Amino acid sequence: MSAKENKHYKLPEPAPPGEAAEPVAPADELPAGRTAAESESDSAPLTVEQIQELKAKAAKADEHWERLLRTTADLENYKKRAARERQDAVRFANAALLEKLIPALDHFDMALTAANNTEGNPMESLKTGIAMVYNQLKNALTEAGLEEIDAAGQPFDPNLHEAVSQEDSTDVPEGHVIRQLRKGYRLRERLIRPASVVVARKPAA
């Protein structure tokens, strides 16, 4: 070590005979700008009030942690339950409609039984059974929101009708439906199937 490097270095004075030398704390053990007395004051024991305050804060932290765990668990359970309910809603969406159609199947069975019966008038029984099935089925679909499009005699509407041909007519105004070949249906405001129609046109001179 050079003389320049030893400029600020001071060796400890030797202790008098019979006395132990005072220990010197290494420079790297004390923070810069702090004395040994200040460092000892930081490690002073906590007061009763400080301990109680730390205990209260720890209990509060535990309470918040437990609440967070319960909230997270409830959220996960809600997500699983919502997913199951959504799947069930998709799987059983037509349950109510099918329940209304079951009586129509019963009437079909009755009609077939009557048609196979050789006693009495089987054709009349079959006709009655088919009429019952038709009415039952139509009522069930109507309650489900299905609407029949009545195009006969109405002005041609490309949003509801599908023109398959045109015919000359002096009785029906031009651009109106002469007759309906196949019924159209819509589910409330949505078109399910357009009505197939024949549209009138003015005869050529």
pLDDT tens for each residue of the chain, 205 residues long: 444 444 444 555 555 555 555 555 454 554 555 555 555 555 678 888 888 889 899 999 999 999 999 999 999 999 999 999 888 888 877 787 788 888 888 878 877 777 777 676 777 777 887 888 888 888 888 888 899 998 988 999 999 999 999 999 888 999 999 999 999 999 988 999 999 999 999 888 7
**How many C-alpha atoms does 113 have within 13 Å on its Cβ side?**
6
How far apart CA 197 and CA 203 sit, in angstroms, is 18
Q: Whole-structure pTM over 0.85, yes or no?
A: no
- Do 168 and 177 touch, CB atoms closer than 8 A? no
H or E element at residue 177: strand 177-182
**How many C-alpha atoms does 201 have within 13 Å on its Cβ side?**
10
Q: Tell me: the pLDDT tens digits for 30-83?
A: 455 555 555 555 567 888 888 888 989 999 999 999 999 999 999 999 999 999
Provide long-range contacts, Cβ within 8 A and 24+ apart, for 103-108: 103/136, 103/140, 104/133, 104/136, 104/137, 104/140, 107/132, 107/133, 107/136, 108/133
For 79-130, the DSSP string reads HHHHHHHHHHHHHTTTHHHHHHHHHHHHHHHHHHHHHH--SS-HHHHHHHHH
pLDDT at 32: 54
pLDDT at 154: 92
pLDDT at 136: 86
